[in-house]
Amino acid sequence: MSSCAAETVGEVEVGAAGESCLPDSDTEEAWEEMEEEDEERELVLRIPCLFCDRIFNSAEDVFCHCTADHGFDIGVVSHKYGLNFYGYIKLINFIRLEKPAVEYFDSITGLIPWEEEKYLNPALADDLLLQYDIEDLLESTSISYPNGLTEASSLLESMKHAQERAERAEAALIRAHEDLQKMRQYAQDFVMSTEVRSGNVADLREDEDDVYFSSYGHYGIHEEMIKDKVRTESYRDFIYQNSHIFKDKVVLDVGCGTGILSMFAARSGAKKVIGVDQSEIIYQAMDIIRLNGLDDTICLIKGRIEEVDLPVEKVDVIISEWMGYFLLFESMLDSVIYARDKFLAKGGSVYPDICTVSLVAVCDISKHADRLAFWDDVYGFNMSCMKKAVIPEAVVEVLDSSTLVSEACVIKRVDCHDISVSELEFSSDFTLTVTKTSVCTAIAGYFDVYFNKNCNNRVFFSTSPCCTKTHWKQTVFFLEKPFAVEEGQELKGKITVHKNRKDPRSLIITISVSNVKQTYNLQ
């Protein structure tokens, strides 16, 4: 065997004739290294064009080819749409996936089609175009602009296109808003069964209150409230049994609805009663007042209390049935406070005058399982991911008093004579003393209402699970993970209540108990 006249390169000896002589011990390792180098060289040489099947050695070569042969200048496009690093990656992947024609980019209007997050995922494995530094490209002076445009003029053109897109988007938003209002009006006309009196309906305000007041134009809501004997008879008894408060007085009924409280006040000797309501039900209330011969005493005004002009400067008494679920849902107390501060005479009274909100622990394993375990098998489908969405929803329902496992704890006291709107958002510590060894599956809330000030006969009613049920029911906050409790144990916690900024009539409630914190929506 002839010897190799060789020079050594690393661990590989290259013979004079070009053949390789490899040390026996390192032969396999050396071959692997050489194969890796070959693969790397092959990878560098395989960068596909964005618009055809040609392969190039570098990103620069691809971009030059795209500009020269396809009329697609990546620099101009990046400037035009103000692409940053991520925008550039989305654009490359968009082209790889969707394969648009170059002409497509001149027809784009409105939103950029490659904005979706899915275009951050590489469309082509080991695509070296995705590793290209777009900032170097944008700063490069070698970018060619069509028709002799300078970088500054190209930027101005880009700004012009952006402004045009913004104007088109704004026009589309206006059209969508107009369509929404037409749909809203159609829905309102559909559900209202009475003819709207000409000239008596103020233009609808374009805000979220329209939905709220529209709902109170439906007769079913008022029927439910009037048939709630606890509610209606409590107001009746307070007014009739304390006629000295109303005798020869001017009374304001905020949110008068069908006018039932206004008529109670008139029958109790009020000199004048002014009922104010924004919903369409007030037209039925006008007929009801006339049917009962009380139109000389009762004056009804359609509108928001915050916007109407009263026929008097001050009133002696304000009555209102403003309470919502968990007492504060719907935020109608805000309007009562406004009326109190603007129209109530010095020494006047607001009724009800005192309200309290209480919490109590609940054990109802069956209902908790039904609310959550239900999603594990829905007609043969696993929908367990819904649990995370279901838990934060506060539930309004009637509780069985036998499911209560603690004493109640008052977390908020509302005095309607001096409370401010800002105080309706609050935090409160609470302690629930457990009365039965069991498992706590939920915390429930309810409220109590008092007619006290200057009353010879005080009236009180409660929405507690231990009392006659009302249309307010109770508000239940299910726990994601129930926990065991023992008789005599003190459950210490904290509750925070504030309005939903997107929908001020709904509430966001956060409860912390037993080292668990959960936020709920009441809407």
What's the pLDDT score for residue 43? 45
Report the length, in residues, of the chain: 523
- Which residues, other chains included, contact 395 with Cβ-Cβ below 8 Å and sequence gap of 6+? 371, 475, 476, 477, 478
Q: Of the residues 321, 397, 425, 480, which is catalytic?
A: 321
pLDDT averaged over every residue in the chain: 81
Compute the distance between CA of residue 506 and CA of residue 394 in angstroms, rounded to an integer.
Answer: 11
219-321 classified as CATH 3.40.50.620: no
Helices (H), 320-404: 333-343, 365-372, 387-390
Res 12 pLDDT > 60: no
Q: pLDDT category, 241, cuts 50, 70, 90?
A: very high
Residue 89 is predicted with a pLDDT of: 85
What is the DSSP pairing of strand 315-319 with strand 250-254? parallel
Backbone angles phi, psi at 396, to 5 degrees: -100, 115
More confident residue, 200 or 382: 382
103 and 81 in contact (C-beta within 8 Å)? no
Q: How far apart are CA 149 and CA 160, in angstroms?
A: 14
Residue 394 has a CB neighbour count (10 Å cut-off) of 23
Instruction: Answer yes or no: 486 catalytic.
Output: no
Task: Please say whether the structural domain 354-522 has been given the CATH code 2.70.160.11.
Answer: yes
Q: Which of 342, 503, 326 is closest to 426 using CA atoms? A: 326
Model confidence pLDDT, tens digit, residues 37-65? 555 544 445 889 999 989 988 888 888 99
pLDDT tens track for 198-234: 333 334 334 545 444 444 444 567 688 889 999 999 9
Give 443's DSSP letter: E
pLDDT (tens digit, 9 = 90+) per residue, 265-309? 999 999 999 999 998 889 999 999 999 999 999 999 999 999 999
Domain boundaries, the chain: 6-40, 47-159, 219-321, 354-522
**Which of 417, 414, 416 lies closest to 426, judged by CA?**
414
Largest CA distance in the chain: 132
Mean pLDDT of 423-439: 95
Q: Cβ(93)–Cβ(120) under 8 Å?
A: yes
From 19, 307, 330, 423, the catalytic residue: 330
Catalytic residue status for 330: yes
The full 3-state SS of 250-293, as one line of letters, equals EEEEECCCCCHHHHHHHHCCCCEEEEEECCCHHHHHHHHHHHCC
Q: In which band, very low, low, confident or very high, does the pLDDT at 104 lie, cut at 50, 70 and 90? A: confident
Query: How confident is the model at residue 5, as a pLDDT?
Result: 36
- pTM recorded for the entire structure: 0.60
Question: Is the confidence at residue 35, as pLDDT, over 50?
Answer: yes
Compute the chain's Rg from CA coordinates: 37
| C-alpha distance across the termini of the chain, in Å | 93
Is there a common fold for 219-321 and 354-522?
A: no
